[in-house]
């Protein structure tokens, strides 16, 4: 096999990298999931997103330092394998791969439901099959096709949020005194913390999952042009922008309508739809349904991309069959894309044949895998920094306040796990050690000569 048939190509420009990172983090967590947090925390959700954004920024800077030092396929799985040991690399890679198989499955199923909002006569499976074929073809094409598709899907989301913020500011500045529209709505109805600080504290775990996916920028590093410039620029610019989108949109929405007047018991859980419908914009439901559909397709598109590149990286490390290192003349890892696509399609029938409670149990794995993913990134970064010190190497893009920031992230993840345990997600927390144990057993079967993870 020639060298050209096992190499990715650097076809992603800076604008692609930035929108890939933003697209991965701006999804249904903001458009739909924020309603639950508003109901429990009130306007203090604004502070919650600011805290979450800071933690995610610290994680991204830690990942960014490793990526710029070595922009390779497999991202944090490669780093865990190289600087920590074979099993950490194995665990990190397969954990991330499984996470996005499950996420892609749920997003693909959600797409069918969003199509049904407009055309209820179309069976779910037809919509699901159509978009499955479309996204799979995009990922089988040149990486530039993926970059362009994700760029425009993300542009729709980003433009929509900016438009909502600008329109909201216009409504606030031009509102009549009797309309009830004012920034004072943020503190006039029970205060900024209407349910006390506890109301926000116990929602931190829930809102953090809205940021899941921002680490996709790491998966794109191996195909980025001039990664030493594009990756730091993307990380530095993307995270503040996401904070503006999350924090800014919540400030505007909760100024337009008092938080305690939102109808959380309705069928439509999107606070964006609720607010704009309450102030007399009837077409808001259709607009937001289109945006959420775009968001789901974007996350699914990025999920399939991340799956195939992680599987490619695992094969390069020797943690997956070598066939997954094979690429076509355009540098696309075809076998890796096809296996990920096959499993995602295979998961779709679960949504039809399994009862709702069984599917929710399956989603516990997603929650646990995301927390484990962030923990492995920050722990691997500690190992990485130790290796740099031992070899007297300097970093081109050092993480902020390391190693203190690593310990802040670890403590925060511990707090998130405590909140999940306290708030009825014990099964999600318990799945983490179960999953690690299963991965250890599989690792021992595939690597009989490895008595223990290699220490470096």
Higher pLDDT residue, 143 or 64?
64
Radius of gyration of the chain (CA): 22
Answer whether residue 398 shows pLDDT above 90.
Answer: yes
Mean pLDDT (whole number) for 132-153? 83
> What pLDDT score was predicted for residue 384?
96
- State whether residue 212 is helix, strand or coil: coil
Q: Looking at residues 145-161, what average pLDDT do you find? A: 82
At 430-452, the pLDDT tens digits run 889 998 999 999 999 887 766 44
**Pick the residue with more confidence: 16 or 185?**
185
Predicted pLDDT of residue 217 = 72
pLDDT of residue 25: 67
Q: Residue 454 pLDDT > 50, yes or no?
A: no
Return the percentage of the chain with pLDDT > 90, whole number.
30
Tens of pLDDT, residue by residue over 399-423, are 999 999 999 999 999 999 999 899 8
Comparing 451 with 173, the larger pLDDT belongs to 173
For residue 430, give Cα distances in angstroms to 100, 334, 418, 419, 427: 20, 35, 12, 13, 5
Q: Could you give the CA distance from residue 384 to residue 87 in angstroms, rounded to a whole number?
A: 16
E runs forming strands in 15-77: none
Cα–Cα dist 120/114, whole Å: 9
CA 18, 408, 195: angle at the middle one, nearest 5? 90
Query: Can you tell me the distance from the alpha carbon of 304 to that of 99, in angstroms, rounded to the nearest whole number?
Result: 11
Task: Calculate what percentage of the chain has a pLDDT beyond 70.
Answer: 86
Rounded CA-CA distance 147/189 in Å is 45
Q: Between the CA of residue 253 and those of 171, 262, 376, 449, what are the distances in Å?
A: 11, 11, 35, 58
pLDDT on residue 287: 82
Cross-strand bridge partners of residue 224 = 12
Tokens matching residue 169: 């500011």
CA distance linking residue 21 with residue 215, whole number of Å:
7
In this prediction, residue 456 carries a pLDDT of 42
pLDDT tens digits, residue range 180-200?
Answer: 889 999 999 999 999 999 999
What pLDDT, on the 0 to 100 scale, is given for residue 406?
97
From the list 269, 251, 106, the residue with the least C-alpha distance to 182 is 251
Helix pair 143-174, 124-140: axis angle to 10 deg: 120
Alpha-carbon torsion (225, 229, 232, 237), positive or negative: negative
Give the separation between CA 222 and CA 78, rounded to whole angstroms. Answer: 11
Residue 268, classed as helix, strand or coil, is coil
- Alpha carbons within 13 A on the beta-carbon side of 446: 15
SS3 349: coil
Please say whether the beta carbons of 207 and 52 come within 8 A: yes
pLDDT at 111: 81
Residues in Cβ contact with 81 at an 8 Å cutoff, skipping those fewer than 6 apart: 74, 88, 89, 90, 92, 93, 317, 319
Beta strands (DSSP E) in 249-364 are: none
Distance of CA 346 to the CA centre of its chain: 22
How many alpha carbons fall within 13 Å on the CB side of residue 264? 13
pLDDT in tens, 70-123: 887 657 788 999 999 999 999 998 998 888 888 788 778 778 778 877 888 888
Helix axes 124-140, 284-317, angle to 10 degrees: 50
Write the secondary structure of 116-130 as one string of H (helix), E (strand) and C (coil): HHHCCCCCHHHHHHH
Structural domains for the chain: 12-445 (1.20.1740.10)
How much is the pLDDT for 441? 94
Buried b (16+ CB within 10 A) or exposed e, 260-282: eebeeeeebbbbbbbbbbbbeee
Q: Which residue has the higher pLDDT, 243 or 50?
A: 50
Q: Which of 79, 332, 99 is nearest to 213 (CA)?
A: 99
Q: What is the mean pLDDT of residues 278-295?
A: 80
| Helix, strand, coil percentages for the chain (3-state, nearest 5) | 75, 0, 25
Q: What is the pLDDT of residues 221-267, one digit of tens each?
A: 666 777 888 888 878 877 777 778 889 999 999 999 899 888 665 43
Q: For all residues of the chain together, what is the average pLDDT? A: 82
């Amino acid at each position: 096999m020639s060298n050209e048939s096992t190499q990715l190509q650097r076809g992603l420009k800076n604008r692609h990298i930035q929108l890939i990172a933003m697209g991965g983090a701006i999804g249904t967590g903001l458009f739909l999931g924020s309603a639950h947090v508003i109901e429990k925390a009130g306007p203090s959700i604004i502070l919650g997103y600011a805290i979450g954004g800071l933690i995610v920024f610290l994680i991204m800077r830690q990942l960014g330092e490793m990526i710029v030092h070595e922009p390779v396929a497999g991202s944090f799985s490669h780093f865990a394998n190289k600087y920590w040991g074979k099993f950490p690399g194995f665990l990190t890679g397969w954990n991330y791969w499984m996470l996005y198989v499950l996420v892609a499955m749920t997003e693909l199923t959600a797409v069918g439901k969003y199509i049904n909002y407009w055309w209820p006569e179309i069976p779910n499976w037809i919509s699901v099959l159509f978009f499955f074929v479309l996204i799979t073809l995009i990922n089988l094409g040149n990486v530039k096709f993926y970059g362009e598709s994700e760029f425009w899907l993300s542009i729709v989301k980003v433009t929509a949020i900016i438009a909502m913020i600008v329109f909201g500011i216009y409504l606030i500045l031009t509102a009549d005194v009797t309309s009830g529209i004012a920034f004072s709505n943020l503190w006039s109805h029970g205060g900024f913390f209407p349910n006390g600080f506890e109301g926000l504290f116990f929602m931190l775990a829930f809102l953090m999952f809205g940021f899941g996916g921002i680490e996709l920028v790491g998966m794109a590093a191996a195909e980025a042009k001039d990664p030493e410039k594009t990756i730091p620029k993307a990380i530095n610019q993307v995270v503040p922008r996401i904070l503006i989108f999350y924090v800014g949109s919540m400030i505007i929405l909760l100024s337009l309508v008092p938080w305690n007047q939102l109808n959380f018991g309705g069928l439509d859980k999107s606070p964006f739809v609720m607010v704009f419908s309450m102030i007399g914009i009837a077409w808001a439901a259709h607009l937001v349904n289109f945006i959420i559909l775009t968001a789901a397709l974007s996350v699914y598109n990025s999920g399939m991309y991340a799956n195939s590149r992680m599987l490619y990286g695992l094969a390069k490390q020797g943690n997956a069959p070598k066939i997954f290192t094979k690429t076509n003349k355009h540098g696309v890892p075809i076998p890796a894309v096809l296996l990920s696509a096959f499993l995602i399609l295979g998961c779709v029938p679960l949504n039809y044949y399994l009862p709702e409670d069984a599917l929710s149990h399956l989603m516990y794995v997603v929650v646990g895998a995301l927390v484990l993913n962030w923990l492995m990134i920050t722990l691997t970064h500690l190992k990485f920094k130790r290796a740099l010190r031992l070899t007297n190497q300097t970093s081109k893009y050092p993480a902020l306040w390391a190693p203190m920031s690593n310990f802040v992230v670890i403590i925060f993840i511990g707090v998130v796990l405590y909140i999940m345990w306290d708030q009825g997600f014990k099964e999600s927390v318990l799945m983490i050690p179960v999953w690690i144990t299963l991965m250890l057993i599989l690792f021992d079967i595939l690597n009989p000569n490895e008595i223990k993870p290699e220490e470096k």
